[in-house]
Amino acid sequence: MTASRPDTCRPMPSTLNGANLDNTLGTLLIGVMIAAIVYGITVVQTYQYFRKSDSDSRILRALIMLLWVLDTVHQALLAFGLYTYVISDYGDIAALTTPTSSLLAAVVISATIEMIVRSLFSHRVWKLGRNAYMTAAIIGLSVIEFVWAGPAAHLNNFEKFTQLSPIFYVAVCAAIMADVLIASSQVATLWRLRTGFKRTDSIVRTLMLYSINTGLLTSVMAVVCLVTYVSMPDTFIYVAVYHIVSGLLLNALLATYNAKTELRNFESNVQVLSNPNNDRQGNLFTRSLSGRVHDERAIQISVVTVTDRKIDAMDKFDVFERASSLSN
């Protein structure tokens, strides 16, 4: 005769009192796992940034460190919220109707991260184009997206979230519009930096790709969050998607800052063109062409023109790099 297993050891079924655990705890678990992967990428990118950011201002470095700390706290809150549901409140289906304090705090942390990141992007947009209207629009939309976190942090029941639906719709749409404005304004500015030189334009295209990814992926995830909330408000799918967006946005910011290293390497290579030794070698070459004064002048003019165009291109890249930092 075998002893029966105690009730406390029975596995939790996929449905409990009519609730589907697959699209509640299951989706929250998957969301936390994906957020953890994104956080791992954030750690790597943050490490790479501080290895190569000696020339950046202390304010910028402090903000990047603050963002990393906030993202770390955000990930810890998500993990603790999941632990509360699956361990502390094991078998208590009523607990799924109440957001844990850690998940509510994670909403505020996530909104704070997105606000800071978009503020840094808006500063870059301002430094690049001096477009006050565009910058003000990005900041205004970012503030709208941030404000909704206040009322959301005071919810004591998921069913009451429907009372905040209008605010949530406006906040998510504002975030999407802000990301689109950030990406489009940077792409438009970078498009004007094209010089006709293959290597220079290759870097321009790379930066344009970074800028597009800045708004594309986060906007898509925000749309998914909005659609899943409208179509499946009784699930945790929109909760899981929402908490992934801030990590993606932070990684997009870090990727653009880490890309500056390639620009600096390109600048050091271009400096060779303006080296006096290269000018003397060019003069010796032109003087070796006896009796060809007209050709000599043409060759000299050609060399000067190419040098000026390349240095001018790097001057434009210097503008982009200064815009990426918080220096004056």
User: Residues 12, 28, 159, CA angle at the centre, nearest 5°?
Assistant: 90
Given 233, 262, 291, the domain boundary residue is 262
CA distances for 155 relative to 88, 104, 148, angstroms: 20, 8, 12
Q: Is residue 3 part of a domain?
A: no
Q: Is residue 29 part of a domain?
A: yes
Q: What's this model's pTM, rounded to 2 decimal places?
A: 0.77
Rounded mean pLDDT, 192-219:
77
Number of domains in the chain: 2
> Tens digits of per-residue pLDDT, 68-111?
999 999 999 999 999 999 998 887 777 888 889 999 999 999 99
Q: Is residue 139 part of a domain?
A: yes
> Tens digits of per-residue pLDDT, 257-306?
887 766 666 555 554 444 445 444 444 334 443 444 444 444 454 444 44
Query: What phi and psi, each to the nearest 5 degrees, are found at residue 56?
Result: -75, 160
Given 262, 281, 310, the domain boundary residue is 262
Q: Is residue 4 part of a domain?
A: no
* Residue range(s) defining the domain that contains residue 139: 19-262
Percent of the chain with pLDDT over 90: 41
Given 216, 247, 262, the domain boundary residue is 262
When pLDDT is cut at 50, 70 and 90, the band that residue 152 belongs to is: confident
User: What dihedral angle (degrees, nearest 10) is formed by the CA atoms of 228, 233, 235, 239?
Assistant: 60
When pLDDT is cut at 50, 70 and 90, the band that residue 31 belongs to is: very high
Domain CATH number, residue 97: 1.20.1070
Q: Is residue 141 part of a domain?
A: yes
Q: Is residue 2 part of a domain?
A: no
Q: Is residue 137 part of a domain?
A: yes
Same structural domain, 197 and 284:
no
Q: Is residue 10 part of a domain?
A: no
Same structural domain, 160 and 300:
no
What lies within 8 Å, CB to CB, of 244 at 6+ separation is 31, 34, 35, 38, 221
Nearest residue to 282 (alpha-carbon basis) of 306, 313, 258: 306
Check residue 290 and give its pLDDT: 42
Nearest residue to 252 (alpha-carbon basis) of 111, 126, 118, 84: 118
